[in-house]
């Protein structure tokens, strides 16, 4: 299973068996942390930092569906350093879920962002 996929219209991606989280447009790190927490229903103890994002992306004990899909209509408007950190965190999180574990994480991105992401990550 591909864990990071690129589609023409990420908002139209759907699966009846997966928990779908749609990330709206974000303009800064703090807004990204807030929106991730909201759409992925992070627990109250979420620490609003990169380590806490990773920890929550590797837990999901609060979600009953096995599959969790995080959809981005567009790439977050973060500075270059934060964008690199964000996609490294996403990449590490999706790749550290093993098939036999309780959950998996899939990232859906707009097709037009593939070259940008490939410049950031070796996917």
Q: Please say if the pLDDT value at position 50 is more than 90.
A: yes
Please report whether residue 93 resides in a domain: yes
Please report whether residue 9 resides in a domain: no
Q: Please say if the pLDDT value at position 2 is more than 80.
A: no
Q: What single-letter DSSP state applies at residue 121? A: S
Predicted TM-score (pTM) above 0.85: yes
| Total domain count, the chain | 1
Q: Burial, 39: exposed, middle or buried (Cβ in 10 Å; 0-12, 13-18, 19+)? A: middle
Please report whether residue 3 resides in a domain: no
Q: Rounded mean pLDDT of the chain?
A: 92
User: Rounded to an integer, what distance in angstroms lies between the CA atom of residue 100 and that of residue 91?
Assistant: 19
Please report whether residue 122 resides in a domain: no
Quick: pLDDT tens for 72-88: 989 999 999 999 999 99
Please report whether residue 123 resides in a domain: no
Please report whether residue 2 resides in a domain: no
Please report whether residue 42 resides in a domain: yes
| Structural domain that includes position 35 | 25-97
Residue 117: per-residue pLDDT = 84
Q: Please say if the pLDDT value at position 1 is more than 80.
A: no
Please report whether residue 49 resides in a domain: yes
Residue 63: per-residue pLDDT = 97
């Amino acid at each position: 299973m591909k864990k990071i996929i690129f589609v023409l219209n990420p908002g139209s991606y759907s699966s009846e068996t997966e928990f779908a989280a749609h990330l709206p447009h974000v303009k800064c790190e703090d807004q990204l942390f807030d929106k991730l927490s909201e759409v992925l229903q992070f627990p109250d103890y979420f620490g609003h930092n990169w380590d806490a994002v990773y920890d929550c992306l590797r837990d999901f004990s609060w979600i009953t569906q096995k599959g969790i899909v995080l959809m981005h209509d567009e790439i977050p408007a973060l500075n270059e350093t934060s964008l690199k950190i964000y996609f490294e965190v996403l990449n590490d999180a999706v790749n550290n879920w093993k098939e036999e574990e309780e959950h998996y994480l899939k990232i859906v991105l707009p097709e037009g962002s593939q070259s940008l992401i490939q410049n950031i990550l070796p996917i």
